[in-house]
Structures are given as structure tokens and as C-alpha cells.
Amino acid sequence: MNNTIGLINGVAHVLPEDPWCLVDDDQPLDSISSPIISFARWQSLREKGDLDQLSCGVLLGPDDDPETVAPGLDTLPLIALEFPSFRDGRAYTQANLLRTRYGYKGDLRATGDVLRDQLGLMRHCGFSSFAVREDKSVLEALKGLFGFDMIYARSVTNPEPLFRRRSAK
């Protein structure tokens, strides 16, 4: 995907050659090295035993329940979550659940209406890469991961809420 930022050892970088691409359901997979396919397609390939588990990523829509991918999480290299609009916050909860409840360790990518001013929130909820909206400058967006970042509650990146850290002092 173009315009993508990734966390490398926790530090944000622009990924110049990101191999992943979103693939429509009617597009064949053979020519694509790192496709991200829809959840429905992923499920049906998996049931048929046709899924190349190690090279396919899956895209969850905001209505999809993260629990349904839980059985395949160990081998999934990438899960993309979609922000149909940056004002639709369901993917924050999905990301948090994938990381904290289902223990997903692979790459968790934000796609769709992904904008600079929300990147820090996404990182807190467990996203590790960000496909910034194509009409935006990825270098500008990168700044979104270096500014204001303080919270009180716990998050995926701050597993302890502030009050536990405060009292540890």
C-alpha cells in the first residue's frame, strides 16, 4: 500500500516499499504476493483448506466481530481494520480486543479514512501500521505519531493505567 507508516521497534517510519495490497473479492490472488482479502473470502478459503495462511492478510469491516478471526490469529501476518470515516470509532475497540483479548501479535493496520490527528490514538489501541489516506502527505501524517500522547487510562501501549504507575513512584 502507498502512503503507509509502520512502527519499527515502536518507532514510526514511513514504509517506502510496503508489499501489502487490498484485493477485491472478484480479483484473482495468484499474481499478488501479499494480498489483504475480505473476511468472507478469508473464511471460505480457510474452510476449503485453500488458504495460504502465511501470505494472506485479512480485512475486517467495522461490523465484523474480531472474535470470529480468533482461531486463525497465530498464523495471520496482518489484519487490516477499516475506518469508513475517521469519525467512526469502532475499529479502536476492535483493535484493542484483538490485542488484549485474543492476543494477536502480527501487524494490525489502519485503513480507510486514516488521518494524522488520530494516529496517536490508533497506536494506543494497538495499531502497528497506518495506511494514510492517499490524498494526504505521509510525511505530514508522520508528525501525528510524535506529538501529544498522554493518557490516564490504560491502553495497549500503556498496559498499566496511570494510577498504578503513579503509586509505583
Partner 1 sequence: MYRYDEYDHALVQARVAQFRDQVARRLSGELSEEEFLPLRLQNGVYLQRHAYMLRVAIPYGTLSANQLRALARIAEEFDRGYGHFTTRQNIQFNWIALERVPDILQLLADQEMHAIQTSGNCVRNITTEAFAGVASDELIDPRPLAEILRQWSTVNPEFLFLPRKFKIAISSSEMDRAAIRAHDVGLYLYRGENGEMLLRVMVGGGLGRTPILNETIREALPWQHLLTYVEAVLRVYNRYGRRDNKYKARIKILVKALGVEAFAQEVEREWEQIRDGVAELTSEEYARVAHEFQAPDYERIDAIDPDFGAWLARNPAFSVWVQNNTRAHKMPGYSSVILSTKPGTSAPPGDVTAEQMRVVADLAEKYGFGEIRVAHEQNLVLPDIRKRDLYALWKALRAQNLATPNIGLLTDVISCPGGDYCSLASTRSLPVAKAIQQRFDNLDFLHDLGELSLNISGCVNACGHHHIGNIGILGVDKNGEEFFQITIGGAQGKESSIGKVIGPAFRAEEVPEAIDRLLSVYLSYREVEERFVDTVRRIGIAPFKEGVYQRETAKVEASA
Question: Which residues in this chain contact partner 1 in the complex, by CB under 8 A?
Answer: 86-90, 92-93, 96, 101, 115, 117-118, 120-122, 124-125, 140, 147-155, 159-164, 166-167
Closest distance of CB 114 from partner 1, Å = 12
Look at residues 135, 97, 96 and name the one whose alpha carbon lies nearest to residue 114. 135
Q: What angle do CA 106, 112, 116 make, to 5 degrees?
A: 90
C-beta closer to partner 1: residue 48 or 169: 169
Which residues 6+ apart lie within 8 Å of 21 measured at CB?
1, 32, 34, 35, 36
Which uninterrupted H or E stretch holds 8? strand 4-8
Closest distance of CB 111 from partner 1, Å = 16
C-beta closer to partner 1: residue 34 or 96: 96
Using DSSP's 3-state secondary structure scheme, residue 124 falls into: helix
C-beta closer to partner 1: residue 54 or 153: 153
Closest distance of CB 121 from partner 1, Å = 4
In this structure, what DSSP letter does residue 113 have?
Answer: S
C-beta closer to partner 1: residue 9 or 85: 85
Closest distance of CB 2 from partner 1, Å = 20
Which uninterrupted H or E stretch holds 131? strand 129-131
